[in-house]
Amino acid sequence: MISEKAFVNKYHRPKETFSQFLKSYKVNMRGQISSLSSYAKRKNISTQQLKQLHESISDDYLLSFYNTSLKPHSLKIEPSPMKNKAYNNNSNVQYKNIIRNMHFEQLVYKTQPGLPNLRNYGSILHDIYKNKTIDYKILTPSALHYIELGRIGSVYSSYYFRASILNPYLVYSLNETLLKGSKIFTPTLGWGSYCYGFLESSKVSEYVGTDVIPSVCKKTQQFANKFYPSKNTSIYCMPSEDLHTLPEFHKKYVGYFDVVFFSPPYYELEKYDGSKQSINKYKTYDSWLQKYWTETIKLCHRVLKKGGKICYIVSNYEGNENLVDDLNRVSLKYFKLISNQPMYNKTVNVNNNNNRNEERIITFSKMK
């Protein structure tokens, strides 16, 4: 966990006068570096707008970000679960904070966007506070308008990539109202948010998950051991498509789980750290579907008991308009579809039937 003081100190720099700011800061326009003063002159950016930008680069923003996005909330999920057909990843988002805090470095620095010409939030923050370099997008008219309104945080969140997190409150709600499982398996860890959400459910007695990022595996196991010692939690650190080769796993968990749940990688929409990530192992979309997705679904069929449910959250996105159909086509070879419903998520730029910011919660049952 990172404290407020440690977070602010990570980026803090002594406050400069406006004159010093103009002389010392640079602008990065797709790798081309120029002085802030000359760039502002070329783009007709006013002195007043630059003064407002200068004021916004402060510890005040860092404190605001920490308190909004990283400060751990009460661990107990207190609101009533969301009702079936009304799932929203942006409801009670304070429960994401502990997840963001635990995995801050992985989330904001090491996870990269798959889309071209999009930088991640961590690199932007580091450049501004440590390298005295401003990305050119922050100096566009629309961004400067938000800065004039004192909303530079809106600029950062709108223009730059942050790794997506499934809200633990959503995971909790899904189990309470739709899945109703006792023994849970997740083929990815979702940064630990699945573990948190499921272990908050009174219905759950056991949680098993796997992932390929060692720090996420370690911290998720530590989190469960510390806060939910009365529930059985086992975390494996290996790719889901290879887990069946582990004798202890295969022997113990065949036909064992009530529920399998995850939001799988959207192929290359987000690029995670590590050579064992599926898109690093499988270089084409077709090989990814066959060697990652099909093998993972086969694993899910092995470990799910008869009548159990498998549920995943996914959507198409720009550049991959067939992802949902392709994933479902494989799943239907092993499971029976029982529901396909929307989930609103304003923080994920996805596309499903031209309805942006909507993902699908797709649930199947194991019939035999």
pLDDT of residue 347: 63
Q: Classify residue 126 by burial, with Cβ atoms within 10 Å: 0-12, 13-18, 19+.
A: middle
Measuring CA to CA, how many Å separate 19 from each of 15, 26, 50, 291, 355?
A: 12, 13, 11, 57, 47
pLDDT surpassing 90 at residue 258: yes
Cα separation of 163 and 192, whole Å?
Answer: 13
Cα separation of 102 and 198, whole Å?
Answer: 18
Place of tokens 């090989």: 287
Phi/psi for 75 (5° steps) reads: -65, -35
Mean pLDDT, residues 90-107 taken together: 96
Could you tell me what percent of the chain has a pLDDT over 70?
Answer: 97
Q: What is the pTM of this model?
A: 0.94
Cα separation of 309 and 263, whole Å?
Answer: 14
pLDDT surpassing 70 at residue 302: yes
In terms of DSSP bridges, do strands 257-262 and 183-186 run parallel, antiparallel, or are they unpaired?
A: parallel
Taking only the tens place, the pLDDT of each residue in 160-194 is 998 989 999 999 999 999 999 999 999 999 999 99
Q: Go through the domains of the chain in sequence order and give each one's CATH number.
A: 4-71+121-159 (no CATH), 168-365 (3.40.50.150)
At residue 3 the predicted structure's pLDDT band, cuts being 50, 70 and 90, is very high
Mean pLDDT, residues 2-11 taken together: 95
Q: What is the mean pLDDT of the chain?
A: 93
**Helix, strand, or coil (residue 345):** coil
Residue with more model confidence, 278 or 310: 310
pLDDT of residue 355: 54
Phi/psi for 233 (5° steps) reads: -130, 130
pLDDT of residue 5: 96
**Which range, 44-48, 263-267, 353-357, is most confident?**
44-48
Q: Classify residue 25 by burial, with Cβ atoms within 10 Å: 0-12, 13-18, 19+.
A: buried
Taking only the tens place, the pLDDT of each residue in 326-361 is 999 999 999 999 999 999 887 655 544 455 678 999
Cα separation of 303 and 299, whole Å?
Answer: 6
pLDDT of residue 348: 56
Short-list 165, 162, 201, CA closest to 93:
165
